[in-house]
Structure 1
Amino acid sequence: MAAQGEVLTASGYIQHHLTNLAVGEGFWTWHIDSLLFSVGLGAFFLWLFRKVGTKATTGVPGKLQCFVEMLVEFVDGVVKDSFHGRNPVIAPLGLTIFVWVFLMNLMDLIPVDFIPHAAALMGVPYLKIVPTTDLNVTLGLSLSVFALIVYYSIKVKGVKGFTKEMTLNPFNHWALIPVNLVLESVTLIAKPISLALRLFGNLYAGELIFILIALLPWWSQFVLSVPWAIFHILVIVLQAFIFMMLTIVYLSMAHEDH
């Protein structure tokens, strides 16, 4: 599929599907498609869960209410097992991260040409529908988690306690403060970077494989795409769970006051 109807080579086809709909230049480039689908899916999540919450009944619940209750209980159990402090924000945050990342990952199961081709017919040249294949989105999520880590570290331990943690750990000697600061700074900064790259890398690779399958003859696409889609469901759920789990663990570490 081409944006303007021209015939694309295999490399051009791949490049076309990996290009975001963007405006602006340099640092101020906005990926419109990533923003559209990520915000849209987040709004859908809020609407759906609010709808279930307002219509919840103590009698025989519907299937959707049962599913939402199971999901809430699952996240609540994970938080109780992994988070050792007391903070009413952590469980809602974990639920939001899990469901939102799952919904963004789930877009990867839509056939690669389905929505972009419809957009091209309306004059939109590029359209990536999986927000988590955009490093800007995954890094934005992880930087939000990073800001919470720093905030709660200072709130629980105080500025003095946080400073001591960064300068007197792991070697508790004033002469090794520069070494400790370098080691702890690398450890702290590696948390959001690893969160972002793990989610981005797994979903980007999955999308790329779907694109490569779409280049094959039509009679072989179904044979390969269905098994890969079934396997990819595991990746979609697992990556959402890992992002949520690591967020909870990192925030639990931030609440530990030594």
Structure 2
Amino acid sequence: MSEQTGSGGLNEYIQHHLQQNTIELGGGAFHIDTWAVSLVLGLFFIGWFAFFARKATAGVPSKGQAFVEIILEFIDGQVKDSFHGDRRSITPLALTIFMWVVLMNGMDLLPLDLPGWVVKATAGAEVAQHTYFRWVPTADLNTTLALSTVVFFLILWHSIKAKGGFGFGKELLTAPFHAHSTGAKLALAPANLGLNVIEYLVKPVSLAMRLFGNMYGGELVFMLIAGLLGGGLLMFVPGVIFNAAWALFHILIVLLQAFIFMILTVVYIAGAYESH
């Protein structure tokens, strides 16, 4: 991860930082950096909450336990407002999505060149120049599509669970345009099926693109600001100010995008229990 001091200037710097660390796997490119960071953050979340769950006491909680309880109560309250059925499996799902996405989004607040500095200090500048590492998993479309695909299959599973396989299939063919006669039902079935398929596919696509677009855009802004920091003493002070201001604003984006992804997942699952 080279710093923006090379001959290519800001353009080369941005292109370098947009490169993934990949290997060939199954005929395609596997993003090691995205996978590794996502895995570490997921395990961190599990370990963090499991630790305080085991240490939980009925008396006065520690600050760590109180913080975890506040998050859990907040998520459960949001689920309760949107989903009116049995929340025992929905709240843990919402909690996992929210915390995991927050942690992955939050990587964007760390110094952009930190991986490069580490590689440069341990392996030398030449190796650092040819090492790529993007450590914001949600700025990789593969991550957001994977998350939204899981949500898509959960929606289908809950739809079949609520209506049965026959009932779900019937709804796909008979709603939203209802008909009473058999001939009209058959005539409207293709249109109903087409609209329902589009409706179901739009949900995961919109989830993935919204999260990816916001995090990718935020990452690009940090890269542009880093260009100011590398533009000499004259631009250093404005660069520091802009970087600090954008980082503070970006905290809201980090939290808001995780919340939107989580709450839409719950709303979509709640909709699976409703009839057209």
Q: TM-score range by the shorter chain?
A: over 0.9
Q: How many residues align?
A: 257
- The answer on 1:187 being equivalent to 2:199 is yes
Match of 2:9 in 1: 9
Match of 1:111 in 2: 111
Amino acid in the other structure paired with 2:209: L
CA distance in 2, matches of 1:23, 1:30: 5
Contiguous gaps of at least 5 residues in structure 1: none
CA distance in 1, matches of 2:55, 2:138: 31
CA RMSD of aligned residues (A): 1.8
Q: Aligned pair in 2 of structure 1 residues 201, 120: CA closer, same or farther (>3 Å)?
A: farther
Classify the secondary structure of the residue corresponding to 1:2.
coil
User: How far did 1:250 drift?
Assistant: 0.5
CA distance in 1, matches of 2:147, 2:141: 10
User: How far did 1:87 drift?
Assistant: 4.5
Within-5 A mapping of 1:70-219: 70-121=70-121, 122=123, 123=127, 125-173=131-179, 174=185, 175-216=187-228, 217-219=235-237
Amino acid in the other structure paired with 2:178: N
Amino acid in the other structure paired with 1:29: A
**Conservation of the 8 A alpha-carbon contact between 1:102 and 1:240:** yes
User: How far did 1:90 drift?
Assistant: 0.3
CA distance in 1, matches of 2:212, 2:199: 20
User: How far did 1:25 drift?
Assistant: 6.5
**Conservation of the 8 A alpha-carbon contact between 1:116 and 1:128:** no
- The answer on 1:230 being equivalent to 2:248 is yes
Q: Which deviates the most, 233-242 or 107-116?
A: 107-116
CA distance in 1, matches of 2:264, 2:270: 10
Match of 1:245 in 2: 263
Contiguous gaps of at least 5 residues in structure 2: 180-184, 229-234
Normalising by structure 1, we get a TM-score of: 0.94
Higher-Rg structure is 2
Match of 1:60 in 2: 60
Amino acid in the other structure paired with 1:17: H
Classify the secondary structure of the residue corresponding to 1:19.
coil
Classify the secondary structure of the residue corresponding to 1:20.
coil
CA distance in 1, matches of 2:69, 2:201: 35
Deviations 1:61-107 (CA, angstroms, capped at 9, x unpaired): 11111110000000111111100222421000000000000000011
Q: Percent identity?
A: 49
Classify the secondary structure of the residue corresponding to 1:29.
strand
